[in-house]
């Protein structure tokens, strides 16, 4: 039996970013850069706090849950976010009740104080890698430092797969 899908569920599954609230998104900070911040102001009090911290006058954005306003609001927020660096936004937004985080590279994440304190990343053979998870007290996981050099072992792997190299 074929189940009819409502237009609402079809819209959700086909929409992508078009139907994503601008208060739950990642924003590119400086044009042509790769620096992003993530915002998740989903509840009304956080949406108000977001506007306050960004210096957006009350009423300048549409209603939070009105998809018709999201395109305009997304553009307004993007315009505000490109006005400062990621570090400046961290200074303004970290430590508030906003759901905010800088989007970090692997190298930056490995150096972040939160991750360093928890040993979230490890260094093996000159590489920064995520530490094994989950962390169990009776059977701790370990990483083996047997990382092959680039290009080594290829011929043997092909032979193992039955490829005739002659």
Residue-wise pLDDT tens digits, 78-105: 889 888 888 899 999 999 999 888 888 8
**Pair of tokens at residue 27:** 């924003």
Average pLDDT, the chain: 80
Helix (H, G, I), strand (E, B) or coil at 131: coil
- The secondary structure element, H or E, covering residue 36 is strand 36-40
What domains appear along the chain, each with residue ranges and CATH number? Answer: 16-103 (3.30.1540.10), 105-140 (3.30.60)
Nearest by Cα to 86 from 30, 26, 25: 30
Cα separation, 51 vs 46, in Å, equals: 9
Residue-wise pLDDT tens digits, 115-158: 999 999 988 878 888 998 888 889 888 877 676 777 788 888 88
**Model pTM score:** 0.64
């Amino acid at each position: 039996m074929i189940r009819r899908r409502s237009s609402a569920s079809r819209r959700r599954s086909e929409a992508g970013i078009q139907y994503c609230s601008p208060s739950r998104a990642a924003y590119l900070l400086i044009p042509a850069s790769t620096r992003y911040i993530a915002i998740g102001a989903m509840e009304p009090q956080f949406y108000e706090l977001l506007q306050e911290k960004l210096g957006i006058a009350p009423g300048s954005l549409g209603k939070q849950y009105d998809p018709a306003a999201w395109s305009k609001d997304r553009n307004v927020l993007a315009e505000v976010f490109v006005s400062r660096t990621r570090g400046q936004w961290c200074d303004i937004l970290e430590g508030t009740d906003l759901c905010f985080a800088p989007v970090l590279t692997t190298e930056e994440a490995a150096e972040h104080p939160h991750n360093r304190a928890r040993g979230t990343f490890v260094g093996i053979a000159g590489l920064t890698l995520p530490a094994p998870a989950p962390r169990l007290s009776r059977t701790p996981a370990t990483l083996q430092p047997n990382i092959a050099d680039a290009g080594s072992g290829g011929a043997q792997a092909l032979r193992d797969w039955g490829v005739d190299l002659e």
